Structure 1
Amino acid sequence: MGKNTNTLTTADKIAIGAAAADFLASFTANPIANGTGTILTTGANLASDISHGASFGQAAGNAAMNLGMGLIGFIPGLGTATKAKKLKKIL
């Protein structure tokens, strides 16, 4: 039998946790919670990208995009749409 490739790595678990946190944050109107969540999930995604073999430049670019999307999320009416696009990118 071959090696089981269906197991999740630590980096996979971090990425899933970050996506779940972003999803849950989309249901709160608290800007402090959203801002904190954005920073934490961006850090988690940065670590996950590097762990998956992305170059530091590519991982930093993804982090910058995530932070930018998080800032746009503070604009009333655009927050949910931005979170949806960010989650689609992560998944």
Structure 2
Amino acid sequence: MPDLHVNGAKLYYETFGSGPLLLLIPGADGRGTVFHDTAKYLSSHFTVACWDRRGFSQSLLIGVQDFADRLSVDADDACALIQHLSDRPAFVFGTS
């Protein structure tokens, strides 16, 4: 189970395939598993990363959270995950 420790959370993620990084950001329920079928389909062309947003499913909260600035924190988490997985620019797709 790969995870990434960031300020205030331990982010769970899974990767599929190889190639340029494609980060899939889940919307409402925050679970990366909603993208598994899509990730498997695209895995012949991309390294597809599916992650659970902080506080959802297998991504754990650590310490005090700033829920008033949730969107900015989620964006910072996405950037940290991209930097962790690749030293090149990434493609990003998100839902709401």
**What is the TM-score of this pair, normalised by structure 1?**
0.32
Q: Whose strand fraction is larger, Structure 1's or Structure 2's?
A: 2
Q: Which has the higher relative contact order, 1 or 2, with Cα contacts under 8 A spaced 6 or more apart?
A: 2
Larger Rg: 1
Q: TM-score, normalised by structure 2?
A: 0.31
Question: Which structure has the highest helix share of the two?
Answer: 1
